Homo-oligomer: A and B are copies of this chain.
Amino acid sequence: VSKAGNNERPAATRERLPTVLDVARLAGVSKTTVSDVIREQGSVAATTRARVFEAIETLGYRPNIAARSLKLQRTEVLGVVAGDFFDPFNAEVTAHIEREAAGKGYRVLLATTGDSRIAEASGVQSLLEYRVAALIFVGFSGDARVAELLGTGPPTIFISYESPLGSSVTIDEKKGGDIATTHLVELGHRRIAYLSTTFAGQKQLDRSRISGYRRALRRAGITPSDDLVLRLGGIPGAEREAIVHGLLSRKDRPTAIFASSDITALELMGYVDRIGLDIPDDLSVVGFDNIAVAGLPRISLTTVAQASAQMAKLAVEAAIARLQDPGLPLGTQLIQPELIVRRSTAPPR
């Protein structure tokens, strides 16, 4: 890390930015008129308007949003709380939320939690201090402190979570777990394991997917075994690999694994490759999310697709709808999961 200074003149002490008053003076009108021109409201004579625009231009005037929000008692900012962006699913959803929000004139204020409940709670607290117009959770731990904060908060939308605290946009998680497992059952697998590495917080999500997994097994006449359910959230990487290694070394090792997310499936594939087992010949793997990389030929992961763009769109729309009509009832928008069959699954041999 080297450092190359350059000889730019240091920025002069930051002078005050121009205000409506400055513009008004320069244009020879009152504050109100300037305000009206900016907001395209009231009726201002064309010539006056032109002068105002000119003044704005020459001064480089930019409205101060903080002052406006203070007066208006509302903001056009959406608070987004997301786990982290190392799971591309979160990043993709957040990107779509931002695009969607920007299209509707809203900005996104971000708080990532890095899978820490403390960070989650303090992030939410902070977003609330900014008086965000609405809050969108891209995944939620269910933390009680956060729930309490939300009580007096703005409209809240949960993605991939359901709670009476707000509206939800989620796929049918249980059904997702079911179709993934059913796919494996139909291929002829009997010993099917479940693997999750989602952080300790994401309990609800884990539970729904597992219950779908169990339902599918039972329907096929297979008794679910707790032995085959590995929840490795919060466990460090090396230890995780050892546990998976253990699972795959048993004489009655599973012939298929349903991973609770693509990122988990990818991690698993790494372990499996290192052990020297072949996917799908020795082991079938199904993921969940259908992140972009899952479709790469090298990966070709069979997975349950969540339409991230659609979910983001619905979440933003729901947030704004609740904003415009606070009386709107809460509800859940349930998206249908879709199985994407690729080459990581095959009949057991």
Given contacts A6-B332, A269-B297, whether A98 and B112 have CB atoms under 8 Å apart is yes
C-alpha gap A60/B127 in the complex (Å)? 15
Q: Which residue of the partner chain B has the closest CB to A16?
A: B73
Residue A108 contacts which of B110, B269, B293 (CB distance < 8 angstroms)? B110
Minimum C-beta distance from A17 to chain B (A):
7
Q: Which residues of B contact A128 (CB under 8 A)?
A: 62
A66 and B63 contact, CB distance less than 8 A: no
Question: A99 → chain B, closest Cβ, in Å?
Answer: 6
Stretch at the interface among A40-48, A88-96, A222-230: A88-96
A238 CB within 8 Å of chain B: no
A329-B130 contact given A112-B95, A270-B297, CB 8 Å threshold: no
Assess the A110–B112 pair: CB atoms within 8 A: no
- How many A residues are at the interface, by size bracket? 35 or more
A56 → B minimal CB distance (Å):
13
B70 touches A66 (CB 8 A): yes
In the assembled complex, A131 has its CB within 8 A of some CB on chain B = yes
User: With A112-B99, A152-B17 in contact, is A85–B75 under 8 Å at CB?
Assistant: no
In chain A, positions 172-225 with a C-beta closer than 8 Å to chain B are none
Write out the residue numbers on chain B whose beta carbons fall within 8 Å of the beta carbon of A298: 269-270, 273, 298-299
- Find chain B residues with CB under 8 A from A327 CB: 10-11
Within 8 A of B (CB), among A292-349: 292-293, 296-299, 310, 314, 326-336
A172 → B minimal CB distance (Å): 9
CA of A4 to CA of B17 in the docked complex: distance in angstroms?
A: 49
Q: Which of B92, B123, B131, B296 contacts A85 (CB 8 A)?
A: B92
Assess whether A35 is interfacial by the CB under 8 Å rule. no
Question: A8 in the interface, Cβ–Cβ < 8 Å?
Answer: yes
A250 part of interface (Cβ distance < 8 Å) = no
B70 & A64 in contact (Cβ 8 Å cutoff)? yes
Name 24 interchain pairs, CB-CB below 8 A, sorted by A.
A1-B333, A2-B333, A3-B334, A6-B164, A6-B330, A6-B331, A7-B329, A8-B164, A63-B129, A66-B131, A84-B95, A85-B85, A86-B92, A91-B95, A95-B112, A99-B112, A99-B114, A107-B110, A108-B109, A110-B110, A266-B296, A269-B296, A270-B297, A298-B299
Besides A3-B331, A98-B110, A109-B110, 7 other CB < 8 A contacts?
A: A1-B310, A10-B328, A10-B329, A11-B155, A16-B73, A266-B293, A270-B298
